[in-house]
Amino acid sequence: MQKSLSADIFGRWGGEEFVGIIKNVDRKKLKKIGNRYRKLIEKSSITLENKPVGITVSIGATLAQNDDSISSIIKRADQLMYECKQKGRNCLASD
């Protein structure tokens, strides 16, 4: 018996990278959720040497396809994230 996830999961993937698994979304909902997180992060700040420092995020969002592997999904999302960084950061790119 295969267990399914009962909730969305977010975690640290690497140095400054995080990955999220979001259930039951289509492209439109994925983009809406991604932009909601992006805007929340954009409104946040941390204090460094007694000064607020703004935070932004570049998001690569993709949907899993039937023939995908974990590796192919991550690779596609990573490519999309780098598109954001090339555009000036603090954006979402989806396919």
Indicate which residues carry an active-site annotation.
16
d(CA 31, CA 33): 6
Q: How many beta carbons lie within 10 A of that of residue 74, not counting itself? A: 16
Which own/partner pairs from 66-72 qualify as long-range (CB within 8 Å, at least 24 positions apart)? none
Please, are residues 10 and 19 in contact by the beta-carbon 8 Å criterion? yes
